[in-house]
Chains A and B, each alone.
Chain A
Amino acid sequence: MKSTSTKKKIFSALFDKHYKRLFNYAFKVVNDKDIASGLVQETFIKLWETIENIKNDERAIESYLITVLKNKIIDNHRKNKTQEKHYDLYKLNAEFSVDIDNKWELEKKIDGIYNALHPKTSEIFKLSRTKGLTYSEIAALKNISVKTVEVHISKALKAFKKGLKDYL
């Protein structure tokens, strides 16, 4: 049994490392900020209760977190669905389960592509995608030419088209 303060340190690092991605994933499926953050909280609580029984290995812990969260998302979904009285709950749950597996894969792929890009390209693409800046705004911000911005964007698009070809 680890002491609480050691455990706290371990969990603090786990939060820094995994929280955002787990939250994004849950959010993509449940589409509600409070439900998503609640499910991620419960997932970490579950890990806190059982961490002594899990192999002390980063990948084992990561896959444990993903599996627990996935099950929590499915439980949450099932709970909502039983209230709706669907004609074929089993089928619906099975489809849902495949769908959320795909979402997780997609989430991982997108992360992977961002990481594989040159940091500058990744940064410029994010300014366009998430901040919605125009090419000339990005050019002014980064003190580069519009042409260079376009080159970075094209590179990023190429990588995404290749990496996500199964999803496009």
Chain B
Amino acid sequence: MSQNVTAMSKRSLYVTVAILTIIPFVALAIVPTYVRTNPEVGGLPFFYWYQLLWLFLAAAFFLAAALLYNRYGGE
């Protein structure tokens, strides 16, 4: 029983970590969602600031995945 629980949580850990890692890839790979000028921020077209914003978001998603995995997934 307890072994089942570990196997289950191991699996959900892998799934969570995989999803966290993949989100930035998917968001940026759907290029047409950000091929536009408006809304601008300080005169900077959407195309530029949206991707700049993703640098921060990607770091946040990756860090969450790394911390989870380092804590519960072994090395």
Mutual binders A and B = no
